Amino acid sequence: MSRTDSAAPEQTGAEALVSSLENVGAEVVFGIPGGAILPAYDPLFESTVRHILVRHEQGAGHAAEGYAVATGKVGVCMATSGPGATNLVTPIADAYMDSVPIVAITGQVAAPSIGTDAFQEADIRGITMPITKHSFLVTHPDEIAGAIASAFHIASTGRPGPVLVDITKDALQARGSFAWPPKIDLPGYHPVTKPHAKQVREAARLISASRRPVLYVGGGVIKGRAWGELKELAELTGIPVVTTLMARGVFPDSHPQNMGMPGMHGTVAAVGALQRADLLIALGTRFDDRVTGKLSSFAPEAKVIHADIDPAEISKNRTADVPIVGDSKEVIGELVSLLKSDDHPLPEIGAWIKSLYDLKKRYPTSFDLPDDGTLSPQHVIKRIGEMTGPDAYYASGVGQHQMWAAHFLPWELPGRWLNSGGLGTMGYCVPAAMGAKVGRPDSVVWGIDGDGCFQMTNQELVTCALEGIPVKIAVINNQSLGMVRQWQTLFYEGRYSNTDLKTNRVPDFPKLAEAMGCVGLRAEHPNDVDAVIDKALSINDAPVVVEFVVHKDAMIWPMVAAGASNDDIKIARDMAPSWAQEDL
């Protein structure tokens, strides 16, 4: 694209923006109009690109994330300058932490007014620079097509992530030549996807020599769509697998080699496997502090093969013995080829596998039903999964219900799980579920939310009702900020400072749902659970909100206290595995 291309047709910048979105194949934009972005909404009115009018810009950003995770495509959100743009900051940061490809388009005050503290002026490019993969400030209509094409390319290639395109109002209003770039070639941006052959050979050598290896699998394997190669590698070698919070479903939970989720609320088998491994084969994962616990005591005897498409992640938290930069599909595929050859014998790990299977059997992730007749939140979530099945898409908020969902929903298929893993954003669930349902209209989409999270962004259910987006939201109402309350119980002697939401009094969640155009249901007794889930599943022409009034003091176990060693994992209050009896 060139500013001097005289053969290119003339368009306003606003028309060029909409033409660019059509050219790049965008199907939907989640947004709200306002002064600076208003010119774009006129041509958008007649575009093939669907615009969904949300109730808050944060909802637009999380909906774009949900759409992107559920479809594998780039999600798009749009807002005006100033507060409209700053309301996108949280979902942009969320997408950055979880490597979700979205393009955020914001209006900016006219170029001559930048820096004058004009009405609704905010330096959104500067504000979001640390939390975007790249950002553009566009001040001329001729630059819009190139910026949009580049933004989609950057967001979806290499390590996916959010890209901001900030366009001044005068650029949207002025006329210029529109020319769609025939190819994208960005100086300095050439993501490495093919791994170095020598490094992969060295990784295969370490795998062959190992006796206690573990496949430590992160969200990068889902982003790389490498679940087929992962299954082939795991079954070829027999190596046990742990899947992080972001990777749930990439390897079936029902597979005997799956030890579950590691980390602060991981399974005993997954945590024990990592702690006693002699080799970690870390694929598309970043040694997050929620997984490692006290880093200096994490997997103390293990050598590390660390493969990631982002070289910045290699050895960032744990030094890699064999660093591999590359796409997970390529890396795992080449490992499989090498380990099938005579040059690299398969590891002898029979005793290791047997000990982990035994550990998994003796310390299953389970829960007790309350003895006072109230609902168990774990049972509710488990029944939603059992009655809906693994084909559905499940979004969650952040907190106890997120961890219960990670443990008790049926994780058999990749890409079905949407949650805020890195940033831990309360309020993610409802708009993310909305975005997922827009992307997957023929699939059931459940949101598993807490009463605290739900009250942050539930207004997007109005959007769902008006736009024909029939999501199903389960509000796990324990009348408190449950995860914080659990920490206050365990570490602050039960001093419940400002965690009681009093949601036993207000709001009335079913009535709130009905006021927003949804169907509202409630379950308060164990005998109600299956009936309301069945009712919710039978409604496909409107959003449904089901309030489950659950026991207030249910806790999420296992747990490793923040900053503690994974060796100090607890399976219940004051109860720990007897590691001295383990022969791993």
Catalytic positions = 57, 119-120, 169, 483
Strand ranges inside 87-212, DSSP E: 102-108, 134-138, 163-168, 175-177
Give the number of other Cβ atoms within 10 Å of residue 305's Cβ: 28
Phi, psi of 337 (to 5 degrees): -60, -45
DSSP 146-178: HHHHHHHHHHHSSS---EEEEEEHHHHHSEEE-
CA torsion sign, 117 to 122 to 126 to 127? Answer: positive
Contact 94, 162 (CB under 8 A): no
Question: Residue for token digits 């388009």?
Answer: 105
- Angle, CA 557 vertex, CA 552 and CA 562 arms, to 5°: 100
CA distances from 239 to 200, 309, 489, 540 (A): 17, 22, 38, 42
Question: Residue for token digits 């720990």?
Answer: 576
As to burial, measured by CB atoms within 10 angstroms (0-12 exposed, 13-18 middle, 19+ buried), residue 487 is middle
Q: Which of 10, 117, 133, 29 is nearest to 73 (CA)?
A: 29
Which letter does DSSP use for residue 480 in this model? B
CA distances from 355 to 252, 280, 567 (A): 20, 17, 17
Contact 2, 178 (CB under 8 A): no
Interatomic CA distance for residues 91 and 129, integer angstroms = 14
